[in-house]
Amino acid sequence: MKHVFKYLKITVFIALVVLSSIGMGQEINHGNPKYKPKNLEEAVSQLSIVLSDSTKQEISSMTEEEFVGNAHLSLGMWIRNEWRLWKGGDLVDYFESMGIFHPDDMSGIILTSYYRELQGQEWQVDEQVQHCKQFWNERQDYIYRLENDTAFAHAEKERYEQLDREMNERTKNQYPIGTQVRAWVDYSIFGDRSEVVGEIIGWRSKQSSVKSRIGSSQGPLVTSEYLEANIRIIEYKDIKKQKRIERYIKRHNGEMWVSASLIEPIE
């Protein structure tokens, strides 16, 4: 779980840096930050106008994988919305002329090319385009097999469920019994959460009541297992929330069950 929180922190960091940079960029850059680029070259140039020098330095300190992957829901979302990649226009027409039709792929190519420009690298646009096309071709073949090859669909169902179990085992190994952790626990039906510190005293796996399908609406149904930790509470970070938490979660003998996705090591 530790690496998950690491990348969540990177994602939040990128979002904060980018949003603040965009606001600053509109004041300190001499270019027009509201201009809608018409091709990839203009898109990369426009990001240079919008983003501040400090943001560029922070981006340059990351690996390409860290930046592109974690900027997808921050700067990437801004690109898709601000430059209307969902609605059509010159930039969309430009990408579609190359065989790129999904806005996520368009923003991905823009982010990758911008990162490489900052690093003084070749953009390798043809390779990026080919990678996107290959992904969709392979996905179409995969979905076809899921929907038409019973043996393959069964094997994939088993593989997905086994991966789920293995991930749960890795989590239990990462947090042995007796480990002290931070956890975020619900205290209302609206999803409000508060932080607690506790000691793990047990684990349990439960089958999800909602089944999902692999690949498409016609793919095989998969039964997922989610993991919960039994935590003996040591401290409520917000003591004012204690009674509300105990009423909502039904704490018993100073213990409560918490989703494994909501715990983090104490560093």
256 compared with 23, residue with greater pLDDT: 256
pLDDT at position 9 is 44
Identify the pLDDT of residue 192: 82
For residues 256 and 249, what is the distance between their CA atoms, to the nearest angstrom? 7
Q: What residue spans of the chain are helical by DSSP H?
A: 2-28, 40-50, 53-60, 64-71, 75-82, 90-96, 103-118, 125-148, 150-174, 242-249
Using alpha carbons, select from 16, 28, 35 the residue that is nearest to residue 53. Answer: 28
Higher pLDDT, 100 or 225: 100
Cβ–Cβ < 8 Å for 176, 227: no
Residue 188 tokens read as 């209302």
pLDDT over 90 (residue 47): yes
Q: Are 61 and 33 in contact (CB under 8 A)?
A: no
Residue 247 has pLDDT above 50, yes or no: yes
Quick: pLDDT tens for 140-171.
Answer: 999 999 999 999 999 999 999 999 999 999 99
Percent of the chain with pLDDT over 90: 64
pTM of whole model > 0.75?
no
- Distance of alpha carbon 50 from alpha carbon 34, whole angstroms: 9
68 vs 110: CA distance, rounded Å: 9
CA distance 33 to 181: 44
Mean pLDDT of 221-235: 91
Alpha-carbon Rg for the chain, nearest whole angstrom, is 23
DSSP assignment letter at 255: E
Confidence of residue 7 (pLDDT cuts 50, 70, 90): very low
Give me the chain's average pLDDT, please.
86
CB 77 within 8 A of CB 19: no
At 55, list the tokens: 């943001």
Question: Measured between alpha carbons, how far is 247 from 199 in angstroms, rounded to an integer?
Answer: 20
Residue that wins the pLDDT comparison between 123 and 70? 123
What is d(CA 61, CA 224) in angstroms, rounded to the nearest whole number?
38
